[in-house]
Amino acid sequence: MRNWLALSFILILSLATGWAGAAPLEYKDWLSRLEQAKTTHDKISILGELEKTVGDSDPELTTLIQNLDAKTPAKEEIDFIVDSIALRAEVAKVKSVDQKGNKLAKEIKAKGNYPDADGKRKSNWIARAFERMATNFQCERKRDPNENMSIPTLDTSWISYVAWILLGAAVLVALFFAIKYFSPQFKRRSRRVGGLMEEDEPERTAPEWIENAMGLAAQQKYREAVRALYLASLVEFDSARVARFLRGETNWEHYRRISASSRYPAGFDFLTPTSRFDTIWYGHITQGQSDVDYFMEVYRTLCQHLAMVKSA
């Protein structure tokens, strides 16, 4: 919900300042590059280039990118920035269509078929309707010969501002639902990364995960085998009361809790395996059996460190 409120704030700010129509940035091109990026590292590099290109023209986006942790970025944070860029691209498209419509209207008026006595429109149709009602009311009052009191003119200037606010809110809501329900790409990006285990997947002990990993590696399912070994490590952390294993959390959420624990084994590096797991599991990039051997060694080293902590 907080993410949607932040995205809505960006949309409101964009409609008020007009950055989508005036900025020379092609957000759709950056969005395409981010969607084609295969790894988290590639996305971080692209966002770094985008930050330099944006500069002061889009301070909100620049701040989002600068606040991103380059060493251990959460995939949810990266996806949130990608969603922000997607919304900018959609708003830019709407602005472009609106500008073309205004240009066409001016060309039609220039031909003389639709003259405007004042040279410009001073109010919208709602304000003009109230003005006509006020005029008709004054005319009816003037028809009464026995009425000498002067009728004050009805001030309808404020109605124009209210009408524009309501119209802007309606456009914002319509745009939000249009993007959410009719854009397949937005639906795909809106799906956040789920936990490490499926809801119907059975619980396993660390030895059972190791056995499962060996079976998957024998079937050349190296990516799944790496996941089983990583889960075995998380179960060992849980058994040693370093941090609980929560099947609904991602690898980075587990890492943050594990590294912050007072029982975390000193000298053990779990950041590198977590980053490598992110590339293999979420990035779908694997080196085959060498990745399986690496995470098996990580598991063995972890067990040794935990044994030393327990005996101390």
Long-range contacts of 197-204 (CB under 8 A, 24+ apart): 197/231, 197/247, 197/248, 201/247, 203/247, 204/231, 204/235
Tell whether pTM > 0.85: no
Domain that holds residue 210: 206-311
Q: Are residues 123 and 211 in the same domain?
A: no
pLDDT in tens, 57-87: 788 777 877 777 666 677 777 888 888 888 7
Per-residue pLDDT reduced to its tens digit, 284-293: 999 999 999 9
pLDDT at 245: 93
Residue 15: band (very low, low, confident or very high) from pLDDT cuts 50, 70, 90: very low
Q: Which of 16-25, 88-97, 116-125 has the highest mean pLDDT?
A: 88-97
The model's pLDDT over 214-266, given as tens digits with 9 standing for 90+, comes to: 999 999 999 999 999 999 999 999 999 999 999 889 999 999 999 999 999 98
Instruction: Please state, for a pLDDT cut of 70, what percent of the chain lies above it.
Output: 65
Residue 201 located in a structural domain:
no
User: Has residue 198 been placed in a domain?
Assistant: no
Same domain, 215 and 93: no
Tell me, yes or no, whether 257 and 108 share the same domain: no
From CA 155, how far away is CA 66, in angstroms rounded? Answer: 49
Number of domains in the chain: 2
pLDDT of residue 70: 62
Residues 176 and 211 placed together within one structural domain of the fold: no
241 in any annotated domain: yes
Predicted confidence at residue 204, as pLDDT, reads 92
Among 139, 170, 192, the domain-final residue is 192
Confidence check: pLDDT of 193 > 60? no
- Do 53 and 170 fall into the same domain? yes
Which amino acid does the sequence have at 118?
D
- Residue-wise pLDDT for 91-111, tens only, equals 777 766 656 666 666 776 666
For residues 179 and 240, state if they share a domain: no
The 3 state secondary structure assigned to the chain is CHHHHHHHHHHHHHHHHCHHHHCCCCHHHHHHHHHHCCCHHHHHHHHHHHHHHHHHHCHHHHHHHHCCCCCCCCHHHHHHHHHHHHHHHHHHHHHHHHHHHHHHHHHHHHCCCCCCCCCCCCCCHHHHHHHHHHHHHHHHHHCCCCCCCCCCCCCCHHHHHHHHHHHHHHHHHHHHHHHHHHCHHHHHHHCCCCCCCCCCCCCCCHHHHHHHHHHHHHCCCHHHHHHHHHHHHHHHHHHCCCCCCCCCCCHHHHHHHHHCCCCCCCCCCCHHHHHHHHHHHHCCCCCCHHHHHHHHHHHHHHHHHHHHHHHC
